[in-house]
Structures are given as C-alpha cells and as structure tokens.
C-alpha cells in the first residue's frame, strides 16, 4: 500500500516538474509575443480605451494575454509550492499548502481572464 502511495506521489511530482518546464518555455514565448505586439510593433497609447480597442480588434491579442496569465499563475504558484516543500517536510502541511495554492491560482486566473474579457467585449 505504501509503495502505491509513493508511486502516485512520484508520478504527480514528475508531472508538476515537467509542467514547470513547459510553462517556462510557454512563458518565454508568450512574453516575447506580448512585448513585440504591445510595445515594439505599432504600440498603442497605453490608455484604457486604446487597450480595450486593440484587445477587441483581434482574438489574437486576447489569447496571448490569457495564455500569459495562465503560464504566469501556474509557474509562479508551482514555484512557491516547491519552495514550501523544501522547508516543510510534513505531509499534512504540504497538502494544505498545495490545496491553498490551487484555490488561489484558480481564483486569480478566473479573475484575470474575467477582467481581460471585460476589456475585450467592453464593459
């Protein structure tokens, strides 16, 4: 039974480690696209009206921003989780922290994308 639990934990750890690397590559790519699109290639005036207009013109800009929010949230909160795991070896503490970070991450992602899509669709 203990081996089965350790195997599940090992698999979960592998996938979180792997997704941390995937999110870092995605973050670099999406951040590069964001910087080029918003700050170097025909940059808009950074006002609420201009940003809303540009986001509403193309689903591309909204998609890039939603991906940026998702990659940043996952990468940052999984990094915090890894640091906490280094300092707090007790399984109970780790589980509480993991659940708390998951809830915070989902809430912040939903809030961020809600605000983004309010800008896209006006409001």
pLDDT of residue 3: 53
Length of the chain in terms of residues written: 123
What domains can you pick out in the chain, each with its CATH number? 2-120 (1.20.1300.10)
Q: Please, what is the angle between helix 91-120 and helix 48-57, to 10°?
A: 90
Give the pLDDT confidence of 32-46 residue by residue, as tens digits. Answer: 999 998 888 878 787
Res 76 pLDDT > 60: yes
Cα angle at 92 between 74 and 90, to 5 degrees? 95
Give the pLDDT confidence of 99-109 residue by residue, as tens digits. Answer: 999 999 999 99
Q: Is residue 58 within 8 Å of 42, Cβ to Cβ?
A: no
Give the pLDDT confidence of 2-30 residue by residue, as tens digits. Answer: 555 555 667 788 898 999 999 999 999 99
The model's pTM is 0.83
């Amino acid at each position: 039974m203990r081996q089965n639990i350790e195997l599940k934990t090992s698999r979960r750890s592998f996938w979180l480690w792997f997704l941390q690397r995937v999110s870092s590559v995605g973050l670099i790519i999406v951040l590069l696209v964001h910087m080029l699109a918003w700050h170097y290639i025909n940059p808009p005036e950074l006002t609420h009206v201009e940003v809303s207009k540009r986001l509403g013109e193309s689903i591309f800009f909204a998609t890039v921003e939603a991906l940026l929010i998702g990659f940043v949230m996952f990468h940052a909160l999984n990094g915090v989780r890894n640091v906490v795991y280094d300092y707090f070896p007790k399984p109970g503490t780790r589980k509480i922290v993991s659940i708390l970070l998951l809830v915070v991450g989902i809430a912040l992602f939903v809030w961020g994308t809600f605000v983004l899509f309010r800008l896209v669709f006006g409001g």
